[in-house]
């Protein structure tokens, strides 16, 4: 499973890109509004440091304006993915932009039928929001499993990009359900490595090695 960072903050992203484990980035208008930097500057910096897909979301509501905004965003760098909302206009924009050779991420997906429509519109990525479904009393992971089944039934190449991922259990469940990608808030990405038995085990190894009086180098 590929791991993306869900952030529009170039500094925060740079620190984690250094691990070599970040496959891409997703941004949205709320994340962009939280960053002090102008959107285009932030996206330019992020695209330079991340080799993979960087989702940049349109803010227009009509297909015609989404296409214009998407084309402008795509000029920032070759790894920009244009992100559109799951509305009829968003799907029309997706069809047009993907037909013109752009990569497109269809966001705010909350049902398998919406995911089916996005795949038919040529989406490169579909973004189901699992945490927000949990918030509303559903099981967000059911959506990932159902989309996986639908896409596999018809060999759609649209990748499932699990979004609104809130905790480590979500990440594990996404990987087990066959999501292609999970996009994680930076703090969640950092937390994935933590295990007290790793720390305890390493401390014991170091202590025993020190007692042996040897060195490798």
Of 115, 158, 113, 163, the residue nearest 141 (C-alpha): 163
Q: Stretches 82-90, 159-167, 174-182, 186-194: which one binds ligand G3P (CB under 6 A)?
A: 159-167
Q: Identify whether 210 is a catalytic site residue.
A: no
The rounded distance, in Å, linking the Cα atoms of 163 and 26 is 9
Site string for ligand G3P, 52-91 (x = CB under 6 A): ----------------------------------------
Whole-angstrom distance, CA of residue 125 vs CA of residue 193: 27
- Evaluated on CA atoms 13, 26, 31, 60, the torsion sign reads positive
Q: Rule CB under 6 A: say whether 132 interacts with ligand G3P.
A: yes
Residues ≥6 apart with Cβ < 8 Å to 210: none
Nearest approach, Cβ of 63 to ligand G3P (angstroms)? Answer: 22
Q: Does 164 participate in binding ligand G3P (rule CB under 6 A)? A: yes
**CB distance 84 to 107 below 8 Å:** yes
Scanning 37-45, 58-66, 92-100, 129-137 for contacts with ligand G3P by CB under 6 A, the matching segment is 129-137
Using CB under 6 A as the binding rule, whether residue 6 contacts ligand G3P is answered as yes
Q: Of 114, 108, 102, which is closest to residue 72 (Cα–Cα)?
A: 102
Instruction: Collapse the DSSP code of 185 into the 3-class scheme (helix H, G, I; strand E, B; otherwise coil) and give the result.
Output: coil
Q: Does 163 bind ligand G3P (CB under 6 A)?
A: yes
Given 3, 28, 112, 114, the residue binding ligand G3P (CB under 6 A): 28
Answer for which of 87, 111, 131, 180 binds ligand G3P (CB under 6 A) is: 131
Pick from 174, 176, 202: nearest CA to 188: 174
- Interface residues for ligand G3P in 166-185 (CB under 6 A)? 166, 183
Given 2, 34, 72, 83, which residue is catalytic? Answer: 83
Nearer to ligand G3P by C-beta: 35 or 68?
35
Nearer to ligand G3P, 191 or 198 (CB): 191
Range list of H helices, 18-166: 29-34, 39-49, 63-74, 88-99, 112-120, 130-135, 140-153
Q: Which stretch binds ligand G3P (CB under 6 A): 84-92, 163-171, 187-195, 206-214?
A: 163-171
**Both structure tokens of 119:** 């795949």
Contact positions toward ligand G3P, by CB under 6 A? 6, 26, 28, 129, 131-132, 163-164, 166, 183
Residues carrying an active site annotation = 83
């Amino acid at each position: 499973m590929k791991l993306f960072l869900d952030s529009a903050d170039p500094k925060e992203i740079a620190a984690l890109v250094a691990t070599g484990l970040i496959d891409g980035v997703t941004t949205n208008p709320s994340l962009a509004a939280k960053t002090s930097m102008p959107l285009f500057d932030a996206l330019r910096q992020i695209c330079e440091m991340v080799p993979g897909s960087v989702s940049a979301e349109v803010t227009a509501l009509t297909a015609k304006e989404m296409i214009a905004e998407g084309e402008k965003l795509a000029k920032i760098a070759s790894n920009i993915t244009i992100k559109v909302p799951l509305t009829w206009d968003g799907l029309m924009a997706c069809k047009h932009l993907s037909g013109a050779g752009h990569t497109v991420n269809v966001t705010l997906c909350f049902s398998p039928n919406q995911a089916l429509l996005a795949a038919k519109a040529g989406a490169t990525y579909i973004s189901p929001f699992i945490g927000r479904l949990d918030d509303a009393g559903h099981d967000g992971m059911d959506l990932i499993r159902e989309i996986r089944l639908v896409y596999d039934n018809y060999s759609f190449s649209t990748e499932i990009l699990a979004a609104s991922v809130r905790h480590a259990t979500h990440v594990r469940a996404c990987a087990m359900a066959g999501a292609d990608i999970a996009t994680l808030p930076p703090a969640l990405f950092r937390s994935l490595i933590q295990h007290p038995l790793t720390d305890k085990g390493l401390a014991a190894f170091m202590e025993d090695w020190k007692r042996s009086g040897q060195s490798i180098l």
